[in-house]
A and B are shown apart, each in its own frame.
Chain A
Amino acid sequence: MTSPAQPEPSGPEAAAPDEAAGPTAATGADTSPTAAAGADTSPSAGTGADLYPAATRPSDEAAVVAAQAATAATTREALTANPLRDPRDKRLPRVAGPCVLVLFGVTGDLAKRKLLPAIYDLGNRGLLPPGFSLVGFARRDWAAQDFAQVTHDAIKENARTPFREEVWKQLREGIHFVPGEFHDDGAFDALAMALKEIDETRGTGGNYAFYLSVPPKFFPLVVQQLKRTGLANAPHGAWRRVVIEKPFGHDLASAQELNEITSAVFPESSVFRIDHYLGKETVQNIMALRFANNLFEPIWNRSYVDHVQITMAEDIGIGGRAGYYDGIGAARDVIQNHLLQLLALVGMEDPTSFDADALRREKEKVLKAVRLPQDLSLGTARGAYTAGWQGGEPVVGYLEEEGIPADSITETYAAIKLEIANRRWAGVPFYLRTGKRLGRRVTEVAVVFQRAPHLPFSKTDTEILGQNALVIRVQPDEGITVRFGSKVPGTAMEVRDVSMDFAYGESFMESSPEAYERLLLDVLIGDPPLFPHQREVELSWRILDPIEEFWATQGQPEGYPAGTWGPPSADAMMARDGRVWRRL
């Protein structure tokens, strides 16, 4: 939603929602004077007021370092103190202050495929601060240059922007490596030493982000180590942040437990939970679509909407993730986070602003208003894929996958019907479905409208006319489709569905940032709106837990052949309501 959403040279008010939501447009998002004044909650508030504090202070080193770090700590303060910044200067990107990113799990799949390339891409776009340093931690007998090689390879293979020697050089200078196991105190002491040294050689001012790209069972250990070594405690004026990946527990209790572990060490404001869906352009565009336009919001309610379908379909199986997936299943893996977040964004009221508090408050309100079906056996469906043909290739069933016990009751397909008990949505079902080994890979939100109250055509004229729909295509082929009836050319009055398309288009978004780029940048800047709060995580588990408990009593899920669109019970669930799933 860079340019197509804002073709007119609009005034500052008109542009505001875009800025908060869009990535390129976000350059100016934080720079409005009101935002700077209103959101000043950090402990170092106040340093921003005196324009040149260092000049009037004792010049002992600690004070200088602290003062420097203080201003680096939040961009907002820097803005008030920095004569070169101006909210009207929209060309200047948001850049984080000097800092270090400590990456645990650098040998993992996520690090290689997403995180390391995203860091490079940020550098290539000029969004990494001077002095930015990257510290890898892994149980490998590596030197910094070995880790640099791994990073280099990951970038070459997976970065989205072209490889440029000078960008790599800049990044390479800041690459460090600390070998060790998570239970090894010595390794973490070495990490603390290394970080201290980096502060001195690179001027990173004690600002560290710890990215835990490791299996969740190690979170407690790593977090404890960060506490023991004092790395979790930010000295005055600096910041420490921790980034964790899903899953955030497997039910409410475990999510709370996990939260206790992190919150005992890091304050909630320093915990960044990644739901990479929220970093996606198309997902942020839901807010622009709804709140920057006057075309959709008037009909975005029970008076016009018949129902909403939110789908995330994957064509792949569980791959090598048997250990993680079995016992978790589709609903915990996808519905609890991605699909409920999409539901919240589609269903929420307009936030008073796009800052984290306002946005999260609205999302929480919707999640709180979610109601489960009375009879879970009628309002939910689950399945597990059986052997079949997927896109022209034979594939095995879930129970035959390596590492999956033959009596597993884990579902690979889940569909649930939810309602939102408020004035806007009462009586409008939200159908959520996700599955592996479905027909193809697609994620979308379809708002399906009611039929016209009266059709002044003969019945045969409109026989094949469906319901109007607005579809937000999240991935792939990002865009928006509007489906409506149109006259078929000819002498008869025959009306049929046609689609009107807005495509971000493959080539168009070619250079747009990847979700992880946006999210990493937000972590380094300390901008939390796109990260789910613990309250949202817990509310989502409250929705899912009763369903999981019910399913646990139901034995093995119904089979569906790989490459099809889920079990018959899912279709039956829709049929009972007189509806059908969209054919995707």
Chain B
Amino acid sequence: MSESPLISVRKLQKSFGELEVLKDINVDIYPGEVVCVIGPSGSGKSTFLRCINQLETPTGGEIRYKDQVINSKGADIRQFREEVGMVFQRFNLFPFKDVIGNVMMAPVLTRHKSKEEARAYGMELLKKVGLESKAAVMPRMLSGGQQQRVAIARALAMDPTALLFDEPTSALDPELVGEVLNVMKDLARDGMTMVVVTHEMAFARDVADRVIFMSDGYIVEEGPAREVIEHPQQERTKAFLSRFLES
């Protein structure tokens, strides 16, 4: 790819006390790319994602966004977070706001959009995730899958350049996973840059451009999605994927 990366991670390290979770992570994320991060529990996938937008402060290394270092002292991480959205495993919707209120809040506060404008755009996004009829409903009345789709619409309301997904379907009942993955597939098709930590191997294989396999704080293997998932080269990757490949 000739373009310069949107997000570039170099020598990323993260320790919690004695525990080294990330040891040496190097990744480039290019515009329009869908990258899935897979690996066993405790391998550091979520920590890696949370270090990118500094929900966790990296212990070492460098993260660049559009060629600006964003994890140095004095860097404007808020600006980065405005431009790169995040979707959480447990949705984290605001329980005291209705669905449209959740989607409208950030554009009104940070972009100083008028409420009418934010509402109109919010309704458009809810339509996109198939929930325009739920605009006035409180989040607790929705299923997990619906809540996650609202969370995606909420992130899209900021017109992000990229979205980070932290196990977006892991908290869902199995029959609700599909509706969320479908919304994510639509986003991928529209060219959204996405970094997805996931256990959905079929999604990674079919939707991702690239798959990163992490284990014990390192990237063990990475490459084109289908290649890594169907023909892993490393023993650790083979062992991890064996259950999926057999089925």
Partners in one complex: no
B interface, CB within 8 angstroms of A: none
